Structure 1
């Protein structure tokens, strides 16, 4: 079917097409006027939240997080938000609402039925590249629609605060419990340290060890000196082989005086022995004096040597005792260091927990919301639906399509010959000629007038 045939069909069925169009327009107009008016009020919110990337720690705007906006929409449309709106407006105590609930014969409780009803008429609008959210509510009463839209905005703002605060409050409670455990652990470690310090009698192990080590070194030096005095050395100190003397005896003034007296007595005895015989009284006296001085000298030498040996033994015993003491002190120091580290670790864990507790407590007490109300909902002046102008435009378009469809269906049911091409298509024979439609008498007179004049 070409356009000319289609145009001929429209001309032939114009009454049916126009009737269908007019009926559609009138029906749409009547229905639009009879439908109850619905009003929509919208509250606009803006999200100021910025999240941190869990890997890089970089701060990302909310709109760059693909799941953030979807999560916020789910929060707004949640039953918890609707129940908070019901609490704010006290809808569950309204008598009209109770009557409607009884008429509905719903199996749900009143509050859940109200939540479903409110969420059914709630509409959320978002933009892909924006953090602005529009909360719209549709209702027959413009005032009620405005109140509910603002109530949802306020409820969502409060819910966002609670969703931020509640985890911090739970974390604060957890850290409080952990803090008690860590405090007990710290007190136990401190008590162990104090008890051990009382047990070993050491407060500062490093200072005490330095003092005892210095004393050990002094005793070692004293022992070396005592051994050198007792046993002698390559430089000539030590025991005098001629008299069994030690270096200490050599330095003894009494012994030196006795040696000098003995030398003088021996010199006199030598002189006397050259002059007198053994039986002479002078000889016997000089000899007795020499023997007396020699005996006294040997006595002092033995006493001094014995004293040096005793001192060396005493110093050696003190040195061994000091070694044992230093080793014991070193072991005690290591044990104290372990206790100190245990106390330090417990103190650090306690301080970290206290810091986290303070942080989470502040976060739990914060009432800062990441949601701000940009524009509160206002009472709409015009109904949102039905939209009369839009419905009429759509009715014209739909009526035109319905009219054309009705005309084509009527043409298929009652097929007529509208053009010479139809004869060729139907009878498969060529057209010899076309008889024009009958001309009126007035037109015929106009056509024949030139002939009559001639």
Structure 2
């Protein structure tokens, strides 16, 4: 079908098209004028929500949470918010509303029924590129629809605070229990540490360990010195007690030995002189010899005494070395015991420090959560409150008529084509070729005579005059 055939069909069926168009437009206009007017009020709310984990305290912007806006829309359109709106506006206390509910349902809960009716007429439109949500409500009363829209915005703001505060309060209760447990653990750790210090008499383990370590170092130094002195004393003892003891430095350097040696030398010289001049039986010879023997005996006695003295000194040095060695061993055992005590006490101190850190962190988080749980500040703010509309949102007669013209035209054209399908006629040479499948040799142009209205009544009129 080409455009010419389409135009011929429209021209032939224009009566059906015009009747359909006029009928649709007329019905639309009448219906637009007869249906009751509907008013629509809109309240805009701004969402500034930030998600906070009540346990970890991590903060995440609400816009980054998956499904954030859909969740807020579900909250606004929830039955809980609708019930709060019913209670805020005291709709269930209106006798007319209760009577209407009884007539419609015959029993049940009027609050649930009213909440369902409000949710049916509620419309929520979120912004695509911002955090603004529009809450719209439609009805026959401008004042009522604006009050309901504002009530939904207010109750959504309140319930958002409740939904944010309740987890914080539960988390606060959880942190209170954890704080009590951690406080008990800290007190138990401190008690174990104090008991350990009392049992071992520890005031300051670091200072005490430093003192004992210094003492051990001093004893070690003294032991080395004592060992050297003991070794030297033993050597001097062995030399002093040897047959060649006179060559010992202790014996040779003794003043008494030196005096005895000098006297002995004088006595030996005197005896030699006497022995040359006198016989052995002479009294001077006997006296000189007795004096010489006495000096020699005294020298041997003094050498023996000095050797004994050197031996006693060596024994004293050896005993001192043993005493210092025992003291060093005892001090070393004490230092080792202090090291073991410090290690055990270090474990207890680490337990106390760990319990203290856990208690401090939990106490800080508990205080923060408790403050957040007591906060009544809402992250939802009303941007534009709803006002009573001055013009109805429905119906819109002009728009409806324009739409009826468009759809009426489409419907008329469709009905015209349907009529053409049921009563197909030849309207051009192409239709004849397509219908008979034969070529057209010629066409006769025929224009039907114009009809005259009341043409048959004129002869009768002339006949009546004759």
TM-score, scaled relative to structure 2: 0.79
Cα distance, 1:271–1:309 mapped onto 2, change above 3 Å: farther
Give the superposition deviation at 1:150. Answer: 0.7
Deviations 1:367-426 (A, max 9, x none): 333322111001011111122222222222333334344444455556666667767777
2:315 pairs with 1:306: yes
CA distance in 1, matches of 2:127, 2:59: 21
Secondary structure (helix, strand or coil) at the match of 1:239 reads helix
Give the superposition deviation at 1:180. Answer: 1.2
CA distance in 1, matches of 2:64, 2:318: 93
CA distance in 1, matches of 2:220, 2:450: 155
Aligned pairs (5 A) from 1:76-225: 76-105=76-105, 109-225=109-225
Between Structure 1 and Structure 2, how many residues are aligned?
430
Give the match for residue 449 of structure 2: 438
Deviations 1:306-345 (A, max 9, x none): 3323222221221111111111111111111111111111
1:229/1:238 contact within 8 Å kept:
no
Give the match for residue 444 of structure 1: none
Q: Which moved more, 1:185-194 or 1:257-266?
A: 257-266
CA distance in 2, matches of 1:358, 1:59: 17
CA distance in 2, matches of 1:148, 1:420: 68
2:271/2:288 contact within 8 Å kept:
no
Cα distance, 1:266–1:191 mapped onto 2, change above 3 Å: farther
1:160/1:369 contact within 8 Å kept:
yes
Give the superposition deviation at 1:217. Answer: 1.7
Q: Which moved more, 1:421-430 or 1:268-277?
A: 421-430
Secondary structure (helix, strand or coil) at the match of 2:237 reads coil
2:237/2:310 contact within 8 Å kept:
no
Give the superposition deviation at 1:152. Answer: 1.2
Q: Which moved more, 1:83-92 or 1:373-382?
A: 83-92
Q: Which moved more, 1:189-198 or 1:430-439?
A: 430-439
CA distance in 2, matches of 1:113, 1:375: 29
Give the superposition deviation at 1:113. Answer: 2.7
Give the superposition deviation at 1:283. Answer: 4.5
Task: Flag structure 1 segments of 5+ consecutive residues without an equivalent.
Answer: 53-57, 442-454
Give the superposition deviation at 1:358. Answer: 2.6
Cα-Cα RMSD:
3.7
Q: Which moved more, 1:312-321 or 1:375-384?
A: 312-321
Cα distance, 1:415–1:298 mapped onto 2, change above 3 Å: closer
Cα distance, 1:4–1:294 mapped onto 2, change above 3 Å: closer
Aligned pairs (5 A) from 1:264-413: 264=262, 266-267=264-265, 270-271=268-269, 274=272, 275=274, 276-277=285-286, 282-283=291-292, 285-286=294-295, 289-290=298-299, 293-294=302-303, 296-411=305-420
CA distance in 2, matches of 1:368, 1:87: 22
Give the superposition deviation at 1:5. Answer: 5.3
